[in-house]
Amino acid sequence: MKKIEIFLTIVVILITVGTVLGVYSFEKYRRSQLYDVELTARAPENGNWYPEKITVSYGETIKIYIRNIDTVSHGFALPDFEVAVNEIKAGTIEIIEFTADKKGTFPFMCTIWCSDRHLEMNGEIIVE
Amino acid sequence: MAKDKLFGLIDINWRFDLTRFKIIRLLFKSRWFPLTIIIINLFLFVIILLAGLLGGFSPGNFNFAIMMVWILWWVLLMFVLVPVFSRVWCMMCPFPIFGDWFQRRRLLQVRKGKPGGLNKKWPKKLRNMWIMNIGFLITTFFSGFFTVRPLSTFILLGSIILLAFLLGIIFEKRSFCLYVCPVSGFQGLYSQFATSEIRVKDPAICKKHRPKTCYVGNEKGHGCPWLLTPFSFKKNTYCGMCLECFKTCPYDNMAFNIRPPGVDLLVKEKRGLDEAWKSFIMLGIAIVFFMTMQGPWSFLKDMVRISTWQGWLTFVSAHSLISLVLMPGIFFLFSYLSRLASRNKEIPVRDVFINFSYTLIPIGLGVWIAFSFGIILPNWSYILHILSDPFGWGWNLIGTAGFKWTPVWTHLMGYFQGATLIIFYLFSVVYGYRISKQTYPKTREAIRGWIPILCFLTLITLVFLWLYLG
């Protein structure tokens, strides 16, 4: 096999496998710089908040990356730390930030009527 | 002899060969073309598949896979690629690259010797459009998912790519593209209307040339991967424009012509029921798609989304009935009336039915272009979003991730759709009369036999005008 075919084989491998690995590595690095916790939002019947319980360390500044992977808008509120996002549209992302300056278990919830089971769309942040 | 002019303006036999320009001739003869475009497209499809997989059940309007495939690609296909450049998508399609690679054992160069894979012949009984017809129809049963849920687009595209590879291992050359690919069938059908073609420049040169290198291949290129005989090309339907015949012809006798639209409709060769049914299916799908995607009937949308199994089964049954039975049934009635009106009992109704089914190609393409206005005008702005944030991860690659949803000219959509339908209806009419003259030997018979078909074409155009504008 001539050099040109070897070159093209490498190009195809880079384009297929390389692209997938490249995208994942870049995103992993980017996220590590961006936030501490990833939270996905879906209506309760489609999976609810994930994770529903988030544990963070006392005194730290926490960034939560909220992805709405649902087909309807959701909201986010963490009242004890006075943090809220009015609307996270379907398919979009919001990043919230707060300082975990008190210990205990604190509820967070969806603030938009997203489904018949909207009131079940709750989670907890545990500050230890 | 007087020239046959379309609308009294364009000579049907007019051609302009683009390969007269050296740069195009060299490009077509290069082994790097269209491989380079295929590889770029492969990269694009890796991103599409990844976005589809990662997108899961998230909304389609912020997903690269959904937007690129069902908005950009589909609209480009219907607006430009098929009506202007025939099957140019097949030229750049990355789906069969792995099958080709396996068979040829090379990506770029031509290798002598036995091809890889089992290299079996495609079954004779299946050498037609029926698998593509049924495959495409079945695909549309799940349109409520493919066009809105990224994961289902991933499954669909992934299955096609996998099937293309597996069939490439088992069957010779591009059997998959020719007989199975769901995208291939309607492209082939509507490419007959295209304003470009690949044909032989001088048939006398081919007649003397032995061996037929365009068919058997040589050191410069592969024998026609689409199992055709380029030296006798008469219509676009099955030519995948891979350009191998440009490379293998030692006399530079292949031309890439610009031509008047629709001239293939007058080619009698290889007309058949499979192609006729493709026309009916495409029209049936257009009706069903409009009603379920762009129409005001929300209960139909629920049926397509499988809100209930009963609703979805009703949708599938009605859709199949319209496309496979109702449309052809009504057309058969008009074909029967055509023969009756012509007073020529020697022409079989089957021939009348098949021949006149080709009049549905321009109007069918027009219907799909009109439908595509309803896709692109309200949704184009999402494309800017997904180019910046292809995986919905909050990226902003080119600074357009925050671009708000901005429909354009939607208040003019009805005018665009109406004008498109009327223009393509006129093409159906001018070709229809010529087909009538081909079908019936005497002019008077042709005129009389043409009237019922003209009524059908007018009726179907009015139905679509009512649907789109009503």
Q: Does A8 touch chain B (CB under 8 A)?
A: yes
In chain A, the residue whose alpha carbon lies closest to the alpha carbon of B110 is: A5
Regarding whether A40 and A52 lie in a shared domain, the answer is yes
Instruction: Give me the pLDDT at residue A1, please.
Output: 62
Task: Provide the domain limits for residue A72.
Answer: 36-127
The interface predicted TM-score of the complex, written ipTM, equals 0.87
Under a CB-based contact definition with an 8 Å cutoff, are residues B466 and B415 in contact?
no
Cβ-defined contact of B107 to A69 (cutoff 8 Å): no
Tell me: do A30 and A40 sit in the same domain.
Answer: no
- In this complex, is the C-beta atom of A37 within 8 Å of any C-beta atom belonging to chain B? no
pLDDT value, residue B37: 97
Same domain, A44 and A107: yes
Q: Does A3 touch chain B (CB under 8 A)?
A: no
> Residues A54, A94: one domain?
yes
A42 and A7 co-located in one domain: no
Q: Are residues A29 and A48 in the same domain?
A: no
Longest dimension (CA), chain B: 69
Nearest CA in chain B to A47: B57
A25 touches chain B (CB under 8 A): no
pLDDT for B216: 95
Q: Which residues of B touch A90 (CB under 8 A)?
A: 58-59, 61-62
Contact B358, B433 (CB under 8 A): no
Kindly state whether residues A117 and A55 are assigned to the same domain. yes
Looking at this protein, which amino acid is placed at residue B140?
Answer: T
Segment A71-84 shows an average pLDDT of: 94
Q: How many CB pairs under 8 A join A and B?
A: 66
Q: Is A83 on the interface with B (CB under 8 A)?
A: no
Min CA distance, B392 vs chain A (Å)? 6
Residues of A in contact with B61 (CB under 8 A): 90-91
**Which chain B residue's Cα is nearest to A93?**
B394
Q: By three-state DSSP, how is residue A104 classified?
A: strand
pLDDT for A62 equals: 92
- Secondary structure of B233-275 as H, E, C letters: CCCCCCCCCCCHHHHHCCCCCEEEEECCCCHHHHCCCCCCHHH
Nearest residue, CB atoms, A15 vs list B39, B56, B392: B39
Cα(B347)–Cα(B253) distance, rounded to whole angstroms? 38
Give the distance from residue A104's alpha carbon to the nearest chain B alpha carbon, in angstroms.
31
Q: Please judge whether A91 and B62 are an interchain contact, meaning their C-beta atoms are less than 8 angstroms apart.
A: yes
Which chain A positions have a beta carbon within 8 Å of B50's beta carbon?
19-20, 23
Predicted local distance difference test score (pLDDT) of residue A71: 82
Long-range contacts of A8-12 (CB under 8 A, 24+ apart): A8/B39, A8/B107, A8/B108, A9/B107, A11/B39, A12/B39, A12/B42, A12/B97, A12/B107
Locate B468 and state its tokens. Answer: 């789109």
Please report residues of A whose CB lies closer than 8 A to that of B104: none
Asked whether residue A1 falls in the same domain as residue A47, the answer is no
> Does residue A25 sit in the same domain as residue A42?
no
Show pLDDT as tens, one digit a residue, over chain B (470 residues). 568 999 999 999 999 999 999 999 999 999 999 999 999 999 999 999 999 998 877 778 889 999 999 999 999 999 999 999 999 999 999 999 999 999 999 999 999 889 999 999 999 999 999 999 999 999 999 998 888 889 999 999 999 999 999 999 999 999 999 999 999 999 999 999 999 999 999 999 999 999 999 999 999 999 999 999 999 999 999 999 999 999 999 999 999 999 999 999 999 988 999 999 999 999 999 999 999 998 888 899 989 988 899 999 999 999 999 999 999 999 999 999 999 999 999 999 999 999 999 999 999 999 999 999 999 999 999 999 999 999 888 889 999 988 888 999 999 999 999 999 999 999 999 999 999 999 999 999 999 999 999 999 999 999 999 999 97
Same domain, residue pair A3 and A17? yes
- Classify A91 in phi/psi space as left (phi over 0), alpha (psi -120 to 50) or beta: left
B57 vs A contacts (CB less than 8 Å):
46, 69, 71
Q: What does the pLDDT read at residue B58?
A: 74
- Chain B nearest CA to A16, separation (Å): 6
- Is there a contact between B39 and A20 if contact means CB atoms under 8 Å apart? no
- Amino acid identity of B364? G
Largest CA distance in chain A: 67
A90 and A45 belong to one structural domain: yes
Q: Report which of B263, B222, B220 is spatially closest to residue B240, judged by C-alpha positions.
A: B222
Name the domain count of chain A.
2
Candidates A2, A3, A11, A15, partner chain B, best to mutate (most B CBs within 10 A): A15
- Which chain A residues are within 8 Å of B109, Cβ to Cβ? 2, 4-5
CATH assignment of the domain containing A68: 2.60.40.420
Q: Which of A9, A30, A91 sits opposite B392 (nearest CB)?
A: A91
Place of tokens 């036995």: B114
Distance from CA of B147 to the nearest CA of A (A): 14
User: In the predicted model, is pLDDT for residue A108 greater than 70?
Assistant: yes
Q: Are residues A19 and A78 in the same domain?
A: no
At B16 the pLDDT is 98
Predicted confidence at residue B61, as pLDDT, reads: 82
- Cβ separation of A93 and B56 shorter than 8 Å? no
Closest-approach residue (CA) in chain A for B36: A8
